[in-house]
A and B are shown apart, each in its own frame.
Chain A
Amino acid sequence: MTQFFRNQTGGLIDRAQRLSFRFDGNRFEGFKGDTLASALLASGVRLVGRSLKYHRPRGVFSIGPEEPCAIVSLGARDNVQPNIKATLVELADGLIAKSQNRWPTIEVDVLSVNDHITSLLAAGFYYKTFMQPKRFWPLYEKLIRRAAGMGKASTAPDSNSYERRYAHCDVLIIGAGPAGITAAQAAASSGAKVILVDEAPAPGGWLRRERLIINGLPGHQWADQALVELQERRNATVLSRTTAFGYYDHNLIGLVQRIGGEVVERLWRVRARQVILATGAIERPIAFANNDRPGVMLAAAARGYLNEFAVRPGKRAVVFTNNDSAYRTAIDLQDGGVDVAAIIDVRADKPGSRLIEAMGERDIPLDRGSVVTRALGRRTLKGVEVAAYSPGFISRSRSISCDLLCVSGGWSPAVHLHAQSGGRPDYDESLCTFVPGESKQAERSVGAARGRYRLSECLEDGLNAGRETAKDCGFKPDDSLYGPETALVELSASSIEALWSVPTTSRRAKCFVDIHNDVALKDVRLAHREGYDSVEHLKRYTTLGMGTDQGKTSNIIGLALLAEMREQPIPKIGTTTFRPPYTLITMGVLAGHDKGPHLKPVRRSPMYAQHEKLKAVFAPNALWQRPQYYLINGTTAKKAVARESLAVRNNVGITDVSTLGKFEISGRDAGAFLDRIYVNNLSSLKPGRIRYGLMLREDGMIFDDGTLTQLAADRYFITTTTGNVEHVRQHMEYWLDVVWSDLDANLIDVTEQWAAVSVAGPNSRRILDRVLTETDLSADVLSHMRCTTAKYNEIDARILRVSFSGELAFEVYVPSGYGGQLWQQLIEMRKEYEIVPFGMDALEVLRIEKGYIGVGSEADGRVTPYDLGFGAVINLAKDFVGKWGLGRPALHEADRPQLIGLEPLDGRSPIGVGAQILDEPASEGTSIGHVSSAATSRILGRPIALAMLRGGRYRKWDTVYVADPLRGREPVPARVVDPCFYDPEGKRLKM
């Protein structure tokens, strides 16, 4: 399509570079330097989206991050980014954009019927209508979401790459408009390390959109030149296309830099000693009937499109204002070839004589003391109705035909980052807006960001702030630096007269307060009538300011109207909270590299390569990748687990236990220290002996378990559960270093120093006799729970006769580097001895068959040793961590959940972990316990489970019912039994 609305000259676009793009399937052209919004306007596209709730037609409304209407989806197929503001999209060749919230097409939208049933869709409608009956809400929600949907995100994984950077600087300046640039110049001239960021591709801010002269140069040329000079400095970094989205504690600022190319976006975390906020101001509209029609535009945006992009936003314009700034729009539009039909100024006497003269010279009709009461047209603006107005009076209206209405309701400084830093914006009566309040962190706002709108003020304000911040950082600013001069005689910006909304006579027409979220004046009234008199409540009830634009153009109007209704001054109402991010940022840039395999570090045992050769299927256990089972001979998982567990019971199996937490404790008081850490009686422990140990938290709940081996008089070796190593380590360090610093004991984590294999099964001794030398593993010498040393190929090894399977078993510890070799040697004896490698799943089956507890399964942090039947091992004669907590009477009540075994009555129905236990055969009811571990025992030939049952110890042989509705299973009748299912006398341990 031809760019009918593009001027042949002017603007900052590169007409030599034509870019082709698609919008809703149609092909358009624009130029390098365009945004999607400017290119659409150049081609005369007025209708660019449908609104959230009423599906009303919407066009481009603004020129920056405040855009509430022109919101599109970018990309195609698996790479769609929804809810993107067209005003922020740099036009690129081949760009694909789609309008949102319409079906089937933007021209014919079925749900625009919503616009006619407004009375049904007022504020709070969903809450009131769809909450009955409550259980239907999920269905309602689905339908509502579809109707009121925003863009759709693609469900495919994000194929883009993102990265992260950290930076420190003396002065961070946010915004490269006139104030930001002079601030950066002044700060950088002192030698301070400066970072200057701006969200736009090119510097200058509004200098690019206004016709302003600085030092005899057009504003944007001055900005370009200043930036080149800054970039030549070693102490200055300039980042374009970079949005400061969040201001956090201690002057930490989050930035997102849009790079494009291989890495799409970069997240910066900048800690600055001083921050200068040169974030500018945002123009706001005025609420009147149908103020959302495509063709209604913020006044400054209208001249911005003309000055920056040489785009005429319409053919015949009306300007509606309550302040002086919009007069520039009338002048610029007329100079740019747009017919200006009238200026409607609500102020009867405030416009100065200079303005009146200027309009007279240009033959622009000026209606003082008048307002626009209504916009005409539907899919595009056809005209406006205008009436004489003074508070309390409104005359009959007349209409003016036009296709562009430029509205200015005044300017709101972008105080977002200031507020995020902890500041509370103050209301300025003369400017009719909020300005930054007292600084809570090392930040200051300059220029328009604090209500200093005039160019000369901005330039000077920035210069001073740059000097002051440099001084605050200990640098000496260059006093010979003078502020640039502007030759332009400026319009006054402070002569604003508050006008938030125009009274409407029409009952049906909507006056939008929040155009993005379709919140109309009557919604605010309704909320007020219903008693939502806090601005935070108003926001949540009406959704005012809750859209993706975060109410940048609407919040202040909403709270001003609420103040009017409550007959209170605006400062009393206060603002809603400004939260990061300032503009939308992608989830991808926050995740950065931390996705897929890079989400967490991976730990691999020294025997990992050997497991791979045996076709191990790995599963994560803490950060470790541990074999779950081995698919040797191409079997199934179920068969593999059965085979592995049977081999341990009948012959011999080996499993990698290198991941166990391992510590050495030494020193004169090492024994005393462990005596306080563990609940067990350790006084009878001797060198060469092993004890099973329980650790508690201070509240008396089980924290961890493991083996405790005395190596020598003042030297101990302990093991902990794989998943708990870090916690146990910190726990022991805390008690040793903080509480009992008088103890002479040292603790060292040797988890990674030792590799370990558990050789388990009746034939395990025979195997190890072949592999180890200089040792005696016979039952007389190395009985159960004893430890000895051995040589493995001349290397010192440590042998612990402990068992987690209830079979004769040995843990063989060798230095990590020999782990793979040891495993390989054992596995190679397979042909002779039929050694079977077993993984975590078989280990779990073996454990459950014996009723051994698992930390995390039975001991889930809510369980005391008494609950597990460990009362006898507790030595109450000594002091230990958790003794106090354990003494609390409620922990000794008879109906606490206690460890029991469960067997299905029919001997075959499976029981699932997490299933609830009931007294009745039902799927719902009062739970009296839960299943904590479950397995199908091959040696017993039936499913078994461990469970925590209220008063379970006293309910042996009772029948209970296992309810598992989440797995869709019928309640299973089961018998309460002893938790040890296999070899209860423990004979096999003593072989």
Chain B
Amino acid sequence: MNSEPARCHSGNERLIVQKLHCPWCGDRPDSEFTYYCTEEGVAGTKSRKQQDQHDRIYLRSNHVGEHVEIWQHTFGCRGWLRVVRHNLTHTISKIVRIDQKARVARS
């Protein structure tokens, strides 16, 4: 056995946890993406009443299971995405453009 004398690529140095499929760019390492918020936290999704706004910003359900999340392909095309992610297994089951709807599988 010998050590393969290969050149080292020092590109993005963060630990690549997984690949995400950007609808515009294809498969990219997750270090190019940033999580922004869950879908239920997005402004305009609740009534404008003070209590509803409070709940939207501070009281998210955070249940175990799949969530629709808002991500950005920050170090790529800067497009916004809806990402369906399981918060226990980190499995990402679906990624769509922000103008498309994403549903969570019933658990």
Using a CB–CB cutoff of 8 Å, the interface residues on chain A facing chain B are 163-166, 176, 198, 201-203, 227, 231, 237-241, 248-250, 252, 257, 259, 263, 266, 269, 271, 592-594, 698-699, 730, 733-735, 737-739, 741, 881, 884-885, 887-888
| Beta-carbon contact of B43 and A698 below 8 Å | yes
Contacting B98 at CB < 8 Å: which of A231, A263, A737? A737
Offer 24 A-B interface pairs, CB within 8 angstroms, sorted by A.
A176-B1, A198-B1, A239-B3, A239-B4, A240-B2, A249-B89, A252-B17, A263-B8, A266-B8, A269-B15, A271-B19, A592-B13, A593-B10, A698-B43, A698-B57, A699-B57, A730-B36, A730-B72, A730-B74, A737-B79, A737-B98, A738-B98, A884-B48, A888-B50
Q: Cβ of A887: which chain B residues have Cβ within 8 Å of it?
A: 50
Q: Which of B67-81 contact A (CB under 8 A)?
A: 70, 72, 74, 78-80
Contacting A201 at CB < 8 Å: which of B1, B9, B48, B57? B1
Contacting A741 at CB < 8 Å: which of B1, B54, B99? B99
Most interface-central of A166, A237, A699 (chain B CB within 10 A):
A166
Q: Cβ of A259: which chain B residues have Cβ within 8 Å of it?
A: 3
Q: Cβ of A201: which chain B residues have Cβ within 8 Å of it?
A: 1
The answer to the question of B60 belonging to the interface, with a C-beta cut-off of 8 Å to chain A, is no
| Beta-carbon contact of B70 and A738 below 8 Å | yes
Distance in Å: Cβ of B74 to nearest Cβ of chain A: 7
Q: Cβ of B34: which chain A residues have Cβ within 8 Å of it?
A: 730
Distance in Å: Cβ of B44 to nearest Cβ of chain A: 5
Contacting B1 at CB < 8 Å: which of A238, A881, A888? A238
Contacting A249 at CB < 8 Å: which of B17, B57, B70? B17
Q: Cβ of A881: which chain B residues have Cβ within 8 Å of it?
A: 43
The answer to the question of B38 belonging to the interface, with a C-beta cut-off of 8 Å to chain A, is no
On whether A166 and B9 interact (CB within 8 A), knowing A249-B17, A271-B16, the answer reads yes
- In order of increasing CB-CB distance, the 4 nearest A-B pairs are A240-B1, A163-B8, A884-B53, A250-B18
| Beta-carbon contact of A248 and B1 below 8 Å | no
Q: Cβ of A735: which chain B residues have Cβ within 8 Å of it?
A: 43
* Assembled-state Cα–Cα distance A240/B2 (Å): 6
**B32-61 Cβ-contact flags toward A at 8 Å (1 or 0):** 001010000011100010100110010000
Chain A residue nearest to B36 in the complex (CB): A734
| Beta-carbon contact of A241 and B3 below 8 Å | yes
Most interface-central of B1, B16, B43, B89 (chain A CB within 10 A):
B1
Distance in Å: Cβ of A539 to nearest Cβ of chain B: 25
Q: Cβ of B50: which chain A residues have Cβ within 8 Å of it?
A: 884, 887-888
Chain A residue nearest to B17 in the complex (CB): A249
Q: Cβ of A734: which chain B residues have Cβ within 8 Å of it?
A: 36, 70, 72, 80
| Beta-carbon contact of B4 and A166 below 8 Å | no
Q: Cβ of A202: which chain B residues have Cβ within 8 Å of it?
A: 1
* Assembled-state Cα–Cα distance A734/B16 (Å): 25
Distance in Å: Cβ of B70 to nearest Cβ of chain A: 6
* Assembled-state Cα–Cα distance A799/B3 (Å): 60
On whether A164 and B17 interact (CB within 8 A), knowing A738-B80, A739-B44, A885-B57, the answer reads no
Apart from A165-B8, A252-B18, list 15 A-B contacts with CB within 8 A. A164-B10, A165-B9, A203-B1, A227-B1, A238-B1, A238-B2, A239-B1, A698-B57, A730-B34, A730-B36, A734-B36, A734-B80, A739-B44, A741-B98, A884-B50
Distance in Å: Cβ of A747 to nearest Cβ of chain B: 10
The answer to the question of B64 belonging to the interface, with a C-beta cut-off of 8 Å to chain A, is no
The answer to the question of B103 belonging to the interface, with a C-beta cut-off of 8 Å to chain A, is no
Q: Cβ of B8: which chain A residues have Cβ within 8 Å of it?
A: 163-165, 263, 266
Chain B residue nearest to A591 in the complex (CB): B13
| Beta-carbon contact of B16 and A252 below 8 Å | yes
Chain B residue nearest to A879 in the complex (CB): B48
Q: Cβ of B44: which chain A residues have Cβ within 8 Å of it?
A: 739
Contacting B90 at CB < 8 Å: which of A164, A250, A271? A250
| Beta-carbon contact of A257 and B10 below 8 Å | no
* Assembled-state Cα–Cα distance A492/B78 (Å): 62
* Assembled-state Cα–Cα distance A202/B50 (Å): 69
Distance in Å: Cβ of B96 to nearest Cβ of chain A: 13
* Assembled-state Cα–Cα distance A892/B42 (Å): 26
The answer to the question of B105 belonging to the interface, with a C-beta cut-off of 8 Å to chain A, is no
Distance in Å: Cβ of B82 to nearest Cβ of chain A: 9
* Assembled-state Cα–Cα distance A265/B70 (Å): 38
Q: Cβ of A733: which chain B residues have Cβ within 8 Å of it?
A: 72, 78, 80
On whether A237 and B4 interact (CB within 8 A), knowing A250-B17, A738-B42, the answer reads yes
| Beta-carbon contact of B13 and A737 below 8 Å | no
Chain A residue nearest to B74 in the complex (CB): A730
Distance in Å: Cβ of B56 to nearest Cβ of chain A: 9
Chain B residue nearest to A167 in the complex (CB): B6
* Assembled-state Cα–Cα distance A266/B78 (Å): 32
* Assembled-state Cα–Cα distance A815/B98 (Å): 34
* Assembled-state Cα–Cα distance A725/B50 (Å): 30
| Beta-carbon contact of B17 and A257 below 8 Å | no
Chain A residue nearest to B4 in the complex (CB): A237
